[in-house]
Amino acid sequence: MRIVIGEGSCGIAAGAGKVHKAIESLMTENEVFTLGSTGCIGMCFLEPIVDLYDGKTLLRRLVKVKASDAENIVNCARTGDLSLVDSITISKDDEEFLNRQTRIALRHCGLIDPVSLDDYREADGYEALEKVLKTMTPDEVIEEIKISGLAGRGGAGFPTWFKWNAARQSVSDTKYLICNADEGDPGAFMDRAVIESDPHTLIEGMLIGAYAIGAKEMIVYVRAEYPLAITHLEIAIEHARKANLLGENILGTGFSCDMRIKAGAGAFVCGEETALIESLEGKRGMPRLKPPFPAQKGYMDEPSNINNVETFANVAWIMNNGGAAFAAMGTENSKGTKVFALTGKIRKGGLVEIPMGKTLRDVIYGIGGGIRDDKEFKAVQMGGPSGGCIPKDLLDTVIDYKALGATGAIMGSGGMVVMDESTCMVGMAKFFLDFTALESCGKCVHCRIGTRRMQEILTRIVKGEGKEGDIELLEELCEAVKDGALCGLGQTAPNPVLTTIRYFRNEYEAHIKDKKCPAKECVDLLTYSIAEDKCKGCTLCAKKCPAKAISGEVKKAHIIDSDMCIRCGQCVNTCRFGAINVD
């Protein structure tokens, strides 16, 4: 039997490392089972996950495993008695989370050992590369990508073949192929999972791209906050070099290309391709004016092509299966699959890859299992700080670049943050503006000052200091920043504000006119009081209150001094009689 532990960053964060150690410590010298690890399986809500295999066959998937489960697992592996792990085996319902997905970019994630080239090769790895290098011309590669309809998965959705072709058409001895792995959207972790779990897929996809455009050097710009991804990629590069999959005369085909990693310091704007190039060149990460486009003048003023991790992760599959197979999935203008990082107030969070054309409801309810704690779904934020929110009555919107764009949100890189009734939409917009205002590079006026002003207006609204006309002023600023900002960061920064105003204008008005937060999230607008008829005078709340704002005699109704109250909500959580009113 094989024990395989999911040890992506998420698994480790949930305690997979401890489980690994615990199992390892119980193993004897001539153990009958083996212990290995894999990357991210994609079910964050069930981490740590341990899979029990017989050869290639998955016998059991164990979830929410603790170090204390190690003994049972080891005994099970030794004896083959699977009933020992019944209590931690995944439920039928939860199995659906993966069963309902169609995995292309994530096809190896959680299945292979990320740092094993053999594992990757066993799973058809580098077959596409060999086929491309030995049997296809660069133009044929680009044509195949064109047939597939693959579009940039970083967010903008620009046709990949077009960019490749533009870079191919640029005349130069030196060209660069760059991978954008600066995944900066809060709540997005698709790219990290791919690199951590399946680094060779990225290398292979990039090599095919490099061959297509005529690049001899490949650079992966990955954020330094992804140490495990960097380590796995470094190992994979090393293995690939040794196997003549990188470097001179790859696989004896005469094609030479090498790869290096550049760790980024974590500026969100460096996810913008021209800022990324500046950063690669060792300069301050600030966007350049376009044109010239990177395909004409990119890194070191040479033709460069930049794609996102997920885009590259699809390439080998397309070459193996044909562009038409990829294009068979999806809608008229959005082909293939898309990976989403499903997070927020969702019951089952994790990585979801589904064919384009499914609805948001399919993802949130069909796969994600709906909202946590039986609360009401309110909206989903698509595309992180650059995207927008989509409300409940648009849940049947299909996942398609155009359809999502029409809602005011975007497909984005795949962040899908689910919000329930307790989320204040003004506060949500402020959260994202706090982020973009801070992450603005400071170059252009619209973004540097415009986002700051928007953030200031939102701040005063959530504090109950909003003024008549603030909504209109926000709308005006949003349009101006969209029109005037230099790069995508600024141009899209207004989206969370515009969509929340579009769908939840009443919440803005309640904050401004009535000084109330309908979601009861904005603490400055809340008043805590005790219902006299419900309070039993148990004194628990008074004891818990960190501000000493609650007073009263034993067995008599207590009162809250709202001047002293810091609105922390401790009393609400403490009261067993539901006597605390929050308005």
Task: Look at strands 217-223 and 337-344 and give their pairing.
Answer: unpaired
Q: How many other C-beta atoms are found inside a 10 Å radius of the C-beta of residue 250?
A: 24
Residue of 79, 442, 532, 573 that binds another protein (CB under 8 A): 442
Residue of 456, 514, 524, 561 that binds another protein (CB under 8 A): 456
For another protein, give the closer residue by CB, 386 or 440. Answer: 440
Q: Which two tokens stand for residue 370?
A: 């709906």
The contact mask relative to another protein for 302-341 (x = CB under 8 A, - = no) is ----------------------------------------
Residue 18 lies near another protein (rule: CB under 8 A): no
Q: Which two tokens stand for residue 454?
A: 């928007």
For another protein, give the closer residue by CB, 308 or 440. Answer: 440
Residue 484 lies near another protein (rule: CB under 8 A): yes
Residue 437 lies near another protein (rule: CB under 8 A): yes
3-state secondary structure of 77: helix
Residue 289 lies near another protein (rule: CB under 8 A): yes
Residue 159 lies near another protein (rule: CB under 8 A): no
Beta-ladder partners of 34:
2
Q: Using CB under 8 A, which residues numbered 253 to 282 contact another protein? A: 267
For another protein, give the closer residue by CB, 128 or 486. Answer: 486
For another protein, give the closer residue by CB, 366 or 484. Answer: 484
Residue 476 lies near another protein (rule: CB under 8 A): yes
Which among 233-241, 388-396, 424-432, 471-479 is the span making contact with another protein, rule CB under 8 A?
Answer: 471-479
For another protein, give the closer residue by CB, 250 or 478. Answer: 478
How far apart, in whole angstroms, are the C-alpha atoms of residue 523 and residue 50?
41
Please, what is the minimum distance in Å from the beta carbon of residue 287 to another protein?
9
Please, what is the minimum distance in Å from the beta carbon of residue 229 to another protein?
24
Residue 483 lies near another protein (rule: CB under 8 A): yes
For another protein, give the closer residue by CB, 136 or 457. Answer: 457
Burial class from Cβ neighbours inside 10 Å (0-12, 13-18, 19+) for residue 563 reads exposed
Which among 140-148, 213-221, 235-243, 469-477 is the span making contact with another protein, rule CB under 8 A?
Answer: 469-477
Please, what is the minimum distance in Å from the beta carbon of residue 439 to another protein?
7
How far apart, in whole angstroms, are the C-alpha atoms of residue 33 and residue 78?
7
Which among 81-89, 104-112, 229-237, 473-481 is the span making contact with another protein, rule CB under 8 A?
Answer: 473-481
Residue 152 CA, chain-centre distance (Å), reads 15
Please, what is the minimum distance in Å from the beta carbon of residue 436 to another protein?
9
How does DSSP assign 340-377, residue by residue? EEEEESBSS-EEEEEETT-BHHIIIIIIT-SBGGGPPE
Please give the radius of gyration of the chain, using alpha carbons only, rounded to the nearest integer: 26
The contact mask relative to another protein for 117-146 (x = CB under 8 A, - = no) is ------------------------------
Burial class from Cβ neighbours inside 10 Å (0-12, 13-18, 19+) for residue 513 reads exposed
Residue 107 lies near another protein (rule: CB under 8 A): no
How many residues does the structure list for the chain? 583
Q: Which two tokens stand for residue 247?
A: 């470097």
Residue 440 lies near another protein (rule: CB under 8 A): yes
How far apart, in whole angstroms, are the C-alpha atoms of residue 177 and residue 61?
39
Residue 286 lies near another protein (rule: CB under 8 A): yes
For another protein, give the closer residue by CB, 442 or 578. Answer: 442
For another protein, give the closer residue by CB, 399 or 441. Answer: 441
Residue 291 lies near another protein (rule: CB under 8 A): yes
Q: Which two tokens stand for residue 248?
A: 């001179």
Q: Which two tokens stand for residue 6?
A: 């999911």
Residue of 134, 260, 284, 505 that binds another protein (CB under 8 A): 284
3-state secondary structure 377-401: EEEEEECHHHCEEEEHHHCCCECCH
C-alpha distance from residue 491 to each of 50, 190, 408, 483 (Å):
43, 23, 13, 7
Residue 224 lies near another protein (rule: CB under 8 A): no
Residue 441 lies near another protein (rule: CB under 8 A): yes
Given the structure tokens 């072709």, which residue do they identify? 165
* Cβ–Cβ < 8 Å for 572, 530: no
Query: 269 Cβ partners below 8 Å, 6+ apart?
Result: 275, 285, 286, 287, 439, 440, 441, 487, 489
Q: Using CB under 8 A, which residues numbered 181 to 220 contact another protein? A: none
Cα four-point dihedral sign 125, 130, 131, 136: positive
Which among 375-383, 399-407, 443-451, 564-572 is the span making contact with another protein, rule CB under 8 A?
Answer: 443-451
Please, what is the minimum distance in Å from the beta carbon of residue 479 to another protein?
9
For another protein, give the closer residue by CB, 288 or 348. Answer: 288
C-alpha distance from residue 60 to each of 77, 87, 92, 559, 571 (Å):
11, 11, 12, 55, 44
Please, what is the minimum distance in Å from the beta carbon of residue 443 to another protein?
5
Which among 89-97, 328-336, 382-390, 479-487 is the span making contact with another protein, rule CB under 8 A?
Answer: 479-487
How does DSSP assign 440-494, residue by residue? --S-SHIIIIIHHHHHHHHHHHHTT---TTHHHHHHHHHHHHHHH-SSHHHHHTT
How far apart, in whole angstroms, are the C-alpha atoms of residue 79 and residue 548?
59
Please, what is the minimum distance in Å from the beta carbon of residue 224 to another protein?
16
Residue of 338, 443, 516, 558 that binds another protein (CB under 8 A): 443
How far apart, in whole angstroms, are the C-alpha atoms of residue 435 and residue 433?
5
Please, what is the minimum distance in Å from the beta carbon of residue 491 to another protein?
9
Please, what is the minimum distance in Å from the beta carbon of residue 279 to another protein?
13
Q: How big is the site for another protein, counted in residues (CB under 8 A)?
A: 30
For another protein, give the closer residue by CB, 73 or 454. Answer: 454
Q: Which two tokens stand for residue 484?
A: 């005037």
* Cβ–Cβ < 8 Å for 543, 549: no
For another protein, give the closer residue by CB, 440 or 492. Answer: 440
Which among 204-212, 351-359, 442-450, 510-518 is the span making contact with another protein, rule CB under 8 A?
Answer: 442-450
Query: 432 Cβ partners below 8 Å, 6+ apart?
Result: 381, 384, 385, 493, 496
Rule CB under 8 A: which residues touch another protein? Answer: 267, 284, 286, 289, 291, 437-446, 448-453, 456, 473, 476-477, 480, 483-486
